[in-house]
Amino acid sequence: MQCPQATFFHRAGWKEVMERSFGHRTYFLYAERAGQICAVLPLARIKSPLFGHWLGSLPFCVYGGIAGDDAQARALLEQAALELAHELGVDHLEYRNIEAQHSDWPGKALYVTFRKGISADDEENMQAIPRKQRAMVRKGVKFGLQSEIDSDTERFFAAYSASVHRLGTPVFSRKHFKVLAEVFGEDCEVLTITHNGQTVSSVMSFYFRDEVLPYYGGGNASARELAGNDFMYWELMRRAAARGVRVFDFGRSKEGTGAYDFKKNWGFTPTPLHYEYQLLRGQDVPDTNPLNPRYQLMIKTWQRLPLWAANLIGPHIVRQLG
């Protein structure tokens, strides 16, 4: 919590999430100096017949790598991670850095992140949203949409699973979201948007220091017509600002996607993320993302599955992706 390089995804709770949600072996390394932890490196191993065998910091998370400004401690953790990667016989070691750390490692320039400071004043935050996007937020207000903090993940899962199914993406399990809520407690929050008592959209967000990270979200078929997602993120921003949050982290997106354009429309500037790879047995940087043409047939097939079938099968696939 005190380390400037640390993110929500460096929290020790992710060890329990990785093991309980996905069954993946974790190796959470740390270095001490004079009895004080001065650097950490959370790692998890994925061994998949479909998507390869790798060790990374951190699967299912947007940020990772070594957190700590002690150069000697960082070097020791780096050495330990490489030794572990060789011992496990993985194809590659992956770090998901906000800032570049290894200029000599192969990288992937696929993802960007969207982060922006917010004010304690609602009107100031509203005026900072570009005009067209601001109109969409006000459209949701005019429809009479309401926001509620949920005590469980049921409404969220219904909205989220329907949304990712339309995109042709395998869904995480219900258990995963329950585990996140249990492990992170008050720092994991579900905000649900309703219209006439019916769920429109919902988002699960993480809180870390003075930041809020809307991480998983989705909406039902009426969300677009009612501007449900637009209103949802505004309500999250408004509630977070009242809570004392001063950074809104919209998370990562791939360039050339609808999510990328949506976040830019809010006035957020994309910042490249630096995903770096130490190739061991593998010869190439992995490319297991939906934009890869080899997965297009799989995506179209998935979209045609009944939702109940996608929700049943999806967790067994997504746990192998990371």
188's tokens: 């994991």
How close are the terminal C-alpha atoms of the chain, in Å? 25
Cα gap 204→189, rounded to integer Å: 6
Closest by CA position to 14, among listed 66, 59, 77: 59
Whole-number pLDDT of residue 111: 92
pLDDT at 108: 82
Instruction: Give strand pairing partners of 206.
Output: 188, 213
pLDDT value of position 291? 57
Q: Which domains does the chain have, with CATH numbers?
A: 8-112+272-286 (3.40.630.30), 119-245 (3.40.630.30)
Nearest to 301 by CA among 314, 289, 288: 314
Q: What are phi and psi of 321, to 5 degrees?
A: -85, -55
Going by their DSSP bridges, the two strands 247-254 and 111-117 should be labelled as antiparallel
**Owner of token pair 């699960």:** 204
Query: 191: cis peptide before it, omega within 30°?
Result: no
What pLDDT score was predicted for residue 289? 61
Structure confidence at residue 280 (pLDDT): 92
What is the reported pLDDT for 54? 95
Strand pairing report for 211-219 and 247-254? parallel
pLDDT at 31: 97
> pLDDT under 70 in the chain at which residues?
288-299, 302
The set of residues, in sequence order, having a beta carbon less than 8 Å from that of 265 and lying 6+ positions away, is 130, 132, 133
Strand-pairing partners, residue 207, are: 212
DSSP state of 316: H
Return the pLDDT at 256: 84
Q: Quote the pLDDT of residue 179.
A: 98
264: which 2 tokens? 């830019």
Burial of 31 (0-12, 13-18, 19+ CB in 10 A): buried
The contacts of residue 226 (CB under 8 Å, 6+ apart) are 139, 140, 143, 145, 195, 200
